[in-house]
Structure 1
Amino acid sequence: MPYYLKHRFDPDFNHLKRKPSEREDGRLDHYNLNYVQNVLKGDVLAEWQEVTEHDAAELDQRFLYPKKVFPKGARVEVNPENPDQLLAADDGYVFYDAGHIRVKKLLNVRQDVDFSTGNISFVNNMVVHGAVSTGFRVQAKNVLVRGTVDAGTVTALESIVCEGGVKGGDKGVLDAGKTVKLNWCEKALIHAGLNVLVENHCLHSRVYAGRRLHVRGRFMGGVAFCHDHACVEGGLGGPGEVETEIALGYNPRLLYKDRLIIYSLRALRARLQQCEMQVAKGKDLAEEFAPQVEDTLQRIATFEAARQRIWERIQASERLESCRLAVPGRAYPGVEVSIGPAFLILDQEVENVHFRYEDGEIAMGSPAI
C-alpha cells in the first residue's frame, strides 16, 4: 500500500511568481502578495497518509512513496510523539530544496521591497538587499536594510539596521523593540525600546529612544525624546533658530502614546464644536445632533482619563538626576532642552557643553564629555 505525503504548506510555492491577494470586496490587493511561507517551531509541515491503489491514482504522483521516509532537510524533525508527522525545528520559512523539505531562519530579500514583492512579514531575521519603497512595510525579528527606506515602514521585534538611511517624507517609520542603527534620516519617525544610533545627520525627524540617543552628525529640526542620555556630536540645531528640541527624563513610549491621545482629543473637540453649532440652530437639528454631542463628550472623558493614567506612569518612571545631554560640537540659539518639567531655550551659540538636571532646573557645563 502506498503512502501519500500530505503537505501543510504549498510545495510548489515560488516567491518570484506571487499574485495579489483578494480583498473582501473582490478588489486585488497589490500591497500583499504573501511573499514568504512562515512557520513556527513545532508546526506540522507534512504528514503521512495511507491510501489505496485506487485513490493513489488521483493524487499528485510526486508525493507517493512506497515507504514512510520523510524527505528531510535542514531544521526539520520527526514528531517524537507522532512519527507520521514532520515538524519545523525552528522559526523561519519552509520550502523544498533539491527534493528535501527545509526550514531557513534567515530571509534574504535580494531586491527592493515594492510592488514585485508586496509587504513582507517574517517570523525570524530578514535582510533586505535593496530599498523599502514608499508605502511598503517589512516586519521581522531583526531587520537589516542595505538600501534606503523611502517613506516605508520597518518594524522589528528586536533591532533594525538601515545602512542606506531613511528619507521619510514625513511618512517613513522605523520601530524596534530594542535598538535602531541607521546611517542618516530626514523627516522620519524613529522608535527604539532601548537605543538609537545615527551615524550621520538627523534632520526634521521625531526620535523616541527608550534609553540612549547618539547622533554622530548634526541633529537639526524635529524633536528627540530620550529617557536617559543623549549625545549629539556634529551640532544641535542650526542657524536661523530652526525649531529643535531634545527632551530627557520621561519614558518615550508613554510620551508617544500621550501624543496620540492628544491628536484624538483635538479631533473629538472639533467634532463636538460642529455638533453643538448644529444643536444651536433649532429644535429639529437639536434632536438629531444631541446624541452625537453626548457620545462625543463621553469619548472625550474616556481619552482624558486615559491620558491622566499615562501621565501617572510617566511621572513614576522619571529619572531626572541621571539624565545628561552632551554636545561636543555647537548648539545653536533656539534649541530647546527639557529634562522632566525643567526646560531651557538657548539664547546664544555654545560649544562643547553638557546639560543636566540640578535643583529643579537645567544646568549647563563644560566639557561635553
Structure 2
Amino acid sequence: MPRLKHFFNPDFDHQHLTPTQKDDGSVDFYNIGYVQSVVIGQVLAQWEDDDNGEISSEYRSYHEKKFPRGPNTTSNPENREQLIATRNGYVFYNDDGLITVKELLNIRGNAGLNTGNIFFVGDLIVHGSIKSGLEIRAYNINVKGVIERAKVNAGGFLKCDGGIKGHGEAHIETKNSLRTKFCENATLVSGKNIIIDNSCMHTKIYCEGKLAVKGRLCGGPCYSNQYIYVGEQLGGGLSTPAQLIVGYSPLMLLQIDKISEQIDKLTEQITDYSGKLPNGSSSEIEYKDKIDKCKVKISYLKNKKKQLWNKLEQTARLDTCRIMVPGIVKVGVEISIGQAFLQVNEPLENVFFYYENHEIKVGSPALKK
C-alpha cells in the first residue's frame, strides 16, 4: 500500500499550540508556530512505497497513488511522485481532506499570546488588535483593531483601521504605502506614502513618498522625500516641537541614524574598556586589543556615513519640496529642506513652506485651487 510522506505537519491545529522550550530551559511564549508557510514550488508531499511498516505521524497510507490535491497545489512536472505549491501561502488539510494552500491568513480575533509571533509569506488580516510584545511579518497586512507595542513588517502595504498606540516601542515598517486611523508614540517607516486619517502625536516617521496627516501633527522628527501635508494643526503641545525634514531620501537618513547609533555604542565601549585598563596587568593587552577593534569599526562606519551623505546630496530635489498646512502652524515648529532651516516664531495659518535660493520661504494659500 503506497503511503504519502508530508513535508508539513498534516495534523497541525492552530487552536492547540503550546509554548516551546529554549536551550537555556526557559519557555518561549512568542514563537509557537501559528502558521505553516510555504512558497511557490515547495514540495508538500511525496509518495513512498510502504515496504518497512514504519509508523510515523508524517505519513498517511492510501489504497492508490492519487494525491489528495486541493486548491493551489499540483503534481511536480519534474517528479510526478511529488505534490508542490502553486502559490505562496499556508498549507493544511481542508474539511474535504485535501491538501490546500491558502494565500490569505485570517486571524479571527487578536494577535496575542494565543498566536505568538507570526511570520507569513502571504497576505494577513487581523480582525482584532496586535497586542504588545509581538512581531508580525507578512506581505499585505490589514489590522481591524489597534496596533500596540509591537513590531510589524509588511512586504507590501499596511492598513490599520483602529490606529497605532505605540507607547514609544511600536515599530511599523512597510515596503509599500501605510495608512492608519491615528498614530501615537511609534516609529513608522514606509517605502512609499503614509496617510494618517486623524492625528499623529510624538511619532518618528521615515516616509520615502508623500506624508499626509489629516488632523494634527505634533512631535517628530518626520522625514519625507518631497511632500508633507498637515490638514488641521502643525505643532503645539508642551513636549518636543514638531520637526519636519524634506528633500532627502528618508530611508537613507534612517541608515545614517542607525550608523550613528552604532558609533555611539562603540564609543561607549571604548570608554568602558579604557576605564578597566589595569596598570601592568596581563589583561592590559586584551583590553587594548578590544579598543583597537572598536576604533577600526568606528572608522569604517564614519566612512560609510560620509558616503551616504554624499549620495544624499547628489539625489536631493529641494526646489520641488513642499510642506502644506491649510490649518494652523504653531510657534516652535522646526522646518528643514536640505541644509536650509527655519523655526516658526509666530503663528501661521493656511501656508506652505518651500525652498528658494538656499532659504526656506513661506507662501499662501497652502493649496492652489
**Aligning the two structures, in what range does the TM-score lie when normalised by the shorter sequence?**
over 0.9
TM-score (ref. length: structure 2): 0.94
Residue aligning to 1:78: 75
Aligned ranges 1:17-96 → 2 under 5 Å: 17-52=16-51, 55-56=52-53, 58=55, 63-96=60-93
Between the aligned partners of 1:339 and 1:146, the Cα distance in structure 2 is 36
How many pairs align?
365
After TM superposition, the runs of 4+ consecutive aligned structure 1 residues lying more than 6 A away are 59-62
Q: CA RMSD in A?
A: 1.9
Aligned ranges 1:193-204 → 2 under 5 Å: 193-204=191-202
Deviations 1:107-147 (A, max 9, x none): 00112111111000100100011111111011101111111
Given the superposition, is the C-alpha separation of residues 164 and 60 from structure 1 closer, same or farther in structure 2, using an over 3 Å criterion? closer
Aligned amino acid, residue 146 of structure 1 = K
Residue aligning to 1:138: 136
Which moves more between the two structures, 135-144 or 241-250? 241-250
Contact 1:21 1:33 survives alignment (8 Å) = yes
Between the aligned partners of 1:50 and 1:203, the Cα distance in structure 2 is 63
Contact 1:90 1:103 survives alignment (8 Å) = yes
Q: What displacement does 1:286 show?
A: 5.2
Structure 1 unmatched ranges of 5 or more: none
Q: What displacement does 1:59 show?
A: 6.2
What SS does the corresponding residue of 1:167 show, helix, strand or coil?
Answer: strand
* Matched-pair identity in %: 34
Q: What displacement does 1:209 show?
A: 0.4
Between the aligned partners of 1:182 and 1:124, the Cα distance in structure 2 is 21
Contact 1:242 1:334 survives alignment (8 Å) = no
Contact 1:236 1:327 survives alignment (8 Å) = yes
Given the superposition, is the C-alpha separation of residues 241 and 68 from structure 1 closer, same or farther in structure 2, using an over 3 Å criterion? closer
Q: What displacement does 1:165 show?
A: 0.7
Between the aligned partners of 1:61 and 1:154, the Cα distance in structure 2 is 33
Residue aligning to 1:343: 341
Residue aligning to 1:105: 103
Residue aligning to 1:151: 149
Between the aligned partners of 1:13 and 1:278, the Cα distance in structure 2 is 53
Contact 1:248 1:323 survives alignment (8 Å) = yes
Between the aligned partners of 1:60 and 1:31, the Cα distance in structure 2 is 25
Between the aligned partners of 1:61 and 1:240, the Cα distance in structure 2 is 61
Between the aligned partners of 2:158 and 2:297, the Cα distance in structure 1 is 36
Q: What displacement does 1:294 show?
A: 1.8
Contact 1:193 1:210 survives alignment (8 Å) = yes
Given the superposition, is the C-alpha separation of residues 290 and 83 from structure 1 closer, same or farther in structure 2, using an over 3 Å criterion? closer
Find the partner of 2:114 among 109, 113, 116: 116
Aligned ranges 1:292-331 → 2 under 5 Å: 292-331=290-329
Given the superposition, is the C-alpha separation of residues 365 and 36 from structure 1 closer, same or farther in structure 2, using an over 3 Å criterion? same
Contact 1:211 1:228 survives alignment (8 Å) = yes
Given the superposition, is the C-alpha separation of residues 340 and 51 from structure 1 closer, same or farther in structure 2, using an over 3 Å criterion? same
What SS does the corresponding residue of 1:32 show, helix, strand or coil?
Answer: coil
Between the aligned partners of 1:263 and 1:111, the Cα distance in structure 2 is 37
Between the aligned partners of 1:24 and 1:153, the Cα distance in structure 2 is 24
Given the superposition, is the C-alpha separation of residues 177 and 58 from structure 1 closer, same or farther in structure 2, using an over 3 Å criterion? closer
Given the superposition, is the C-alpha separation of residues 288 and 95 from structure 1 closer, same or farther in structure 2, using an over 3 Å criterion? closer
Residue aligning to 1:268: 266
What SS does the corresponding residue of 1:243 show, helix, strand or coil?
Answer: coil
Contact 1:157 1:177 survives alignment (8 Å) = yes
Residue aligning to 2:9: 10
Given the superposition, is the C-alpha separation of residues 14 and 249 from structure 1 closer, same or farther in structure 2, using an over 3 Å criterion? same
Given the superposition, is the C-alpha separation of residues 108 and 301 from structure 1 closer, same or farther in structure 2, using an over 3 Å criterion? same
Given the superposition, is the C-alpha separation of residues 81 and 324 from structure 1 closer, same or farther in structure 2, using an over 3 Å criterion? same
Q: What displacement does 1:351 show?
A: 0.4
Between the aligned partners of 2:285 and 2:38, the Cα distance in structure 1 is 55
What SS does the corresponding residue of 2:269 show, helix, strand or coil?
Answer: helix
Q: What displacement does 1:314 show?
A: 1.5
Residue aligning to 1:219: 217
Contact 1:241 1:333 survives alignment (8 Å) = no
Aligned amino acid, residue 129 of structure 2 = A
Given the superposition, is the C-alpha separation of residues 151 and 8 from structure 1 closer, same or farther in structure 2, using an over 3 Å criterion? same
Deviations 1:42-85 (A, max 9, x none): 11111111224xx4584679832222111111111111222211
Which moves more between the two structures, 258-267 or 218-227? 258-267
Structure 2 unmatched ranges of 5 or more: none
Which moves more between the two structures, 263-272 or 163-172? 263-272
Contact 2:9 2:58 survives alignment (8 Å) = no
Between the aligned partners of 2:107 and 2:80, the Cα distance in structure 1 is 34
Contact 2:181 2:197 survives alignment (8 Å) = yes
What SS does the corresponding residue of 1:13 show, helix, strand or coil?
Answer: coil
What SS does the corresponding residue of 1:11 show, helix, strand or coil?
Answer: coil
Q: What displacement does 1:287 show?
A: 4.6
Between the aligned partners of 2:284 and 2:58, the Cα distance in structure 1 is 72
